[in-house]
Copies of this chain bind each other. A is one copy, B any other.
Amino acid sequence: MNKINIGLIGYGTVGSGVVKLLRARKSYIKNKFNTEFVIRTLCDRSIHKKKTRGLGKARLTKNIQDVLGDPKIDIVVELIGGMHPAKEIALKSMKNGKHVVTANKELIANCGKELFQLAKKNHCHLYFESSVGAGIPIIKSITEGIVGNKFKNIYGIINGTCNFILSEMTQNHYSFAQALAEAQEKGFAESNPALDINGMDSAHKLAILIYLAFGKSVNVKEIYREGITHISHDDIEYATSLGLTIKLLAIAKKEDNRIEARVHPTLISKDHPLASINSIYNAIYMKTDPLGSTLLSGEGAGQMAAASGVVSDLINFATRGHSSALPSNLHSEAPGLKIQKIDQIKTKFYIRFMVIDKPGILSAITGVLGKHNISINSVTQNAHNPSLTVPVIMLTDYTSGKMLRLALNKIQKLPLVRGKPVAIRMEKLW
């Protein structure tokens, strides 16, 4: 029997899920993998307030050093989240020759390269499946499953909160505020949902995917980021009538040595498989050479979905027989890659203008667009009422972020235009 001593740091939602799952699968893991996982030490800053029944002989402590300094601990499971002291825990663990499992997207996004280099140097394993899409095997698929491939692009629905809100707005005709309230009520959104709905959470995960798929260590600040707070229910209705769906997508594309890295609401065809990923489900759609398009989807958040990824990491560590090989060689960066500025990236756009419905308004708007070399593929104006503000929807051909920005700044100042136009990027995924 292969006995593996775990030091578990962080006994919150995910941590207690991991303990629960390890207990539920104990005999299965013994029989199938000839392995016994023992929680030797459980460290949490509020350990004495937590329910710790069923943890057997585990040492309970508030002191991280009780884990890092214990030579009998083989592997440290870090589940506290955030940058500090998570980073110090990962570094110190590996310096002490311990392997590490973490679900910490912020940590891997910001310090991945440094951690992978230390892992290589010290012959440690570093697993992080639950950092993106919880237990959906995204990390393993990219680093091992389709590893012989050249990655061309990645489109991810990797924030369950945003996907839930947009799905509710689409399917149940909710406003953003109603959908957010429902997400909070169901426990799918934090009481402070800022990092989710402003796209930051997706940006962290996208940084990880870019490092794995393209070998580029990207500063999260370089990722263009737009949240979903400005999406109105009207936009969703117009999108639906055009055969489109709005999703918060994390997008990475590589062409030559240029990488696009962006997170924003995106209009995609209703017929694309990503369009049917609803509620809190996550999905990754990747195009690689020579495999083509691959889609992975599943529950990307929640206690047990995250615990599933952590436990899979632990079992994978166990079956590798303490070999010094890393899951894949992640310590080195591909040279010469550059992140493109959003201003230079060309996409099609959906634009909603709110205008006073008087003759000449379309000509004024299209005139400004024309001067910025922006071609219009379609114009829709359904409501007509000269005394009211009505929406005009335009779909553009490919144009750069910069040209669109300049054109909208001008259009916004036209006499008959009211408010700030809403512009949403469109992507053709196949």
Contacts and interface: CB of A to CB of B under 8 A. Distances in A.
B148 A137 contact: no
Contacts of A288: 308
A328 B323 CA distance: 15
Given A32-B329, A34-B329, A271-B276, A149 B308 contact: yes
A13 to B, nearest CB: 13
A290 interface: yes
B291 A299 contact: yes
Nearest to A270: B276
Interface string A22-41: 00010011011110000000
Nearest to A302: B292
B292 A147 contact: no
A146 B327 CA distance: 16
A312 B148 contact: yes
A321 B322 CA distance: 11
Given A291-B308, A320-B325, A145 B137 contact: yes
A293 B332 CA distance: 34
A136 interface: yes
A190 interface: no
Interface residues of A, number: 62
A229 B108 CA distance: 51
A52 interface: no
Given A291-B305, A328-B319, A312 B28 contact: no
Please give the count of copies of this chain that the complex contains.
2
Main secondary structure of the interface of A (DSSP, over half): mixed
Contacts of A28: 150
A21 interface: yes
B304 A299 contact: no
A325 B311 CA distance: 18
Contact of A141 (B31, B145, B148, B304): B145
A25 B150 contact: yes
A237 B292 CA distance: 31
A283 B288 CA distance: 17
A60 B283 CA distance: 45
A277 interface: yes
Nearest to A288: B308
A22 to B, nearest CB: 8
Contacts of A31: 332
A122 to B, nearest CB: 16
B295 A296 contact: yes
Nearest to A335: B31
Interface in A118-174: 129, 134-137, 140-141, 144-150
A307 interface: yes
Contacts of A304: 290-291
A327 B321 CA distance: 10
A297 B273 contact: yes
A305 B290 CA distance: 6
Given A137-B137, A140-B141, 14 more contacts: A21-B148, A32-B215, A33-B328, A34-B329, A129-B145, A136-B294, A137-B145, A147-B315, A149-B312, A273-B277, A276-B276, A293-B298, A319-B325, A320-B325
* 3 closest cross-chain pairs (CB), A and B: A137-B145, A148-B311, A290-B304
25 contacts: A31-B332, A32-B328, A32-B329, A32-B332, A135-B149, A137-B140, A137-B144, A140-B145, A141-B296, A144-B316, A146-B312, A148-B308, A148-B312, A283-B295, A288-B308, A290-B304, A290-B307, A291-B298, A291-B308, A292-B298, A293-B299, A294-B298, A294-B299, A295-B297, A321-B324
